[in-house]
Amino acid sequence: MDRELSYASLRVQSGRFAAALMRRGVVSGDRVAVQVEKSVEAVLLYLACLRMGAVFVPINTANTPNEVDYFLRDSQPRVAVIRPADRALIEPHATHAGVHHVETLGAEGEGSLPALVRESGEDPDPPRNPGANSLAAIVYTSGTTGRSKGAMLSRANLASNAAALAEAWHFTSRDVLLHTLPLFHVHGLFAAINTVLASGSSLVLLSKFDAESALKRLPQVTVFMGVPTHYTRLLQLTRLNREVTANVRLFISGSAPLLMETHQEFLRRTGHAILERYGMTETLINTSNPYEGVRKPGSVGTPLPGIAVRVAGAAGAVDTRADVTGALEVRGPNVFAGYWRDPEKTRGEFTTDGWFKTGDLGRIDRDGYVHIVGRAKDVVISGGYNVYPKEVEMELDALSGVLESAVFGVPHPDFGEGVTAVVVPQPSTELSEADLINSLQARLARYKVPKRVLLVDELPRNAMGKVQKNVLRAAYSSLYARVI
């Protein structure tokens, strides 16, 4: 059943969630780890943490107990909020990690946390907001070493980015955003919800993206945010046309590169030029194509107000010439405070003059538009999610019969990039693709599991013995090609 919440109700109910957390001993600065399905109550829980100064730690709902164990041990939350069905699986890990309380929250608002909220009664007026530089969230982003890093985002990071996006995208109180994104990702949690809050606009919250459901809701909204996969699936529906999108003033795409063909076909079918932007966990949103002006296909636009982007050469020297490819670096109020409990890693990711090294390769054209041309590291972006090969390789190499493996991304018509693995079996060992994939599904989130695992005699290497993933990407570039 559809529910409507006014801003007044949002304030009261988020206050009640804050009261429930306080009953569990949560104070400003404490972490609250959350792995739950998308729901109104999940949004209220996030807002409750913001109001009382608790640090929100979202965990991907696809992460396995094996993965969640690390997040709990590393972030050391006072409270963990999980799905009711996961309690028996997660609670032992939470106990081992020293979590004081485990609460449950279901997709329909059921669970121990909502029950505690009801017992807590009226909003007790949570403590005053802490300082702007205090932590608001820790969002984990995997590294190429296989160990996840917690990106510390301050209240100032969130507030400045929400204000910049509301201004850049012309949000007003008359807008209605169709929200089909997950709440454990900076795109759906911060770029979407915080921008709505900053502008006093409204949103329609769907539990997940479904092309048919999204198409049905488009006449009721003014803005849609999605990842490239959402747009390719909408284009598969013959009913997507100018009439059904007439009320929408803005379509936004991010989290992965949008193919030029998708941009052009969407424009032809609907009359709307999709607005691409560029962000990452550590910086939120950095750049955006203009609301008014040329939206260049293949470009992520210009830096948002107050944010600067530059290109550095191989030796780290800044290159201000147009259209020179190099490492992208960012500076601004959006840039995170560092990695949780990892000052050495934090220092290594910043230049001596304070710019954050994004790890992306790009160029800035003569009009100031940023173009992402690749990644310095081999991260795979599949369906809008970052998949770090080393993490998958570690799990593959631990399987019986596997001598070594290499994981990489190649073009995929639906997901942008398909996670792909090649495996060298141990001598005299019989392996099957299906068995390897099944084994990984118990160890990794679904989006990290390779779509194909190919068995080979050896991995290509250079003279230094390093695996040549560029050779693998070229060899399997047409693996997922399909006739359209």
First-to-final CA distance of the chain: 38
Cα 150 from Cα 128, distance rounded (Å): 26
pLDDT at 246 over 50: yes
**pLDDT on residue 258:** 83
How far apart CA 481 and CA 484 sit, in angstroms, is: 9
Phi/psi at 249 (5° precision):
-95, -15
- Euclidean distance between CA atoms 30 and 385, whole angstroms: 27
Side chain identity, residue 232:
T
pLDDT band per the 50, 70, 90 thresholds, residue 348: very high
> Is the confidence at residue 303, as pLDDT, over 90?
yes
Mean pLDDT of 441-469: 87
In b/e form, how buried is each residue of 419-437, taking b as 16+ CB within 10 angstroms? bbbbbbbeeeeebeeeebe
Segment 341-368 mean pLDDT: 94
Q: To which H or E segment does residue 280 belong?
A: strand 275-280
Q: Which residue has the tokens 């013959």?
A: 238
Rounded CA separation 40/182 (Å) = 12
What's the one-letter identity of residue 431? Answer: L
Backbone angles phi, psi at 391, to 5 degrees: -65, -45
* Strand ordering across the sheet containing 416-425: 402-412, 416-425, 452-455
Amino acid in position 73: R
- Tell me how far apart the alpha carbons of residues 420 and 436 are, in angstroms, rounded to a whole number: 12
* Tens digit of each residue's pLDDT (9 = 90 or more) over 208-224: 999 999 999 999 999 99
Q: What is the mean pLDDT of the chain?
A: 92
pLDDT reported for residue 122: 65
Please indicate whether residue 470 or residue 57 has the higher confidence score (pLDDT): 57
- The pLDDT value recorded for residue 375 is 67
The tokens 């999108």 sit on which residue?
A: 245
286: amino acid identity, one letter: N
Specify the pLDDT at position 283. Answer: 98
Q: What does the pLDDT look like over 374-415, one tens digit per residue?
A: 667 677 889 988 887 888 988 998 899 998 899 999 999 999
Higher-confidence residue of 394 and 455: namely: 455
More confident residue, 310 or 321: 310
Reported confidence tier of residue 126, pLDDT bands at 50, 70, 90: low
User: pLDDT band for position 249 (50/70/90)?
Assistant: very high
Length of the chain: 484
pLDDT reading at 421 higher than 60 = yes
Confidence of residue 65 (pLDDT cuts 50, 70, 90): very high
Instruction: In whole angstroms, give the CA distance from residue 310 to residue 470.
Output: 26
Could you count the other beta carbons within 10 Å of the beta carbon of residue 25?
A: 11
Q: Give the pLDDT band (50/70/90) at residue 125.
A: low
What's the Cα-to-Cα distance from 136 to each of 158, 161, 333, 396, rounded to whole Å? 8, 13, 14, 35
User: Is this structure's pTM higher than 0.85?
Assistant: no
Distance between CA 16 and CA 5 in Å, rounded?
Answer: 14
pLDDT above 50 (res 199): yes
Percent pLDDT > 90 in the chain is: 79
Mean pLDDT of 161-189: 97
Distance CA 164, CA 233 (A): 29
Q: Write down the pLDDT at residue 464.
A: 44
Residue 166, pLDDT above cutoff 80: yes
| Least confident piece of the model among 128-137, 217-226, 262-271, 392-401 | 128-137
Q: Which domains does the chain have, with CATH numbers?
A: 7-130 (3.40.50.980), 380-475 (3.30.300.30)
What average pLDDT does range 360-376 have in this prediction?
A: 88
Percentage of the chain modeled with pLDDT above 70: 94
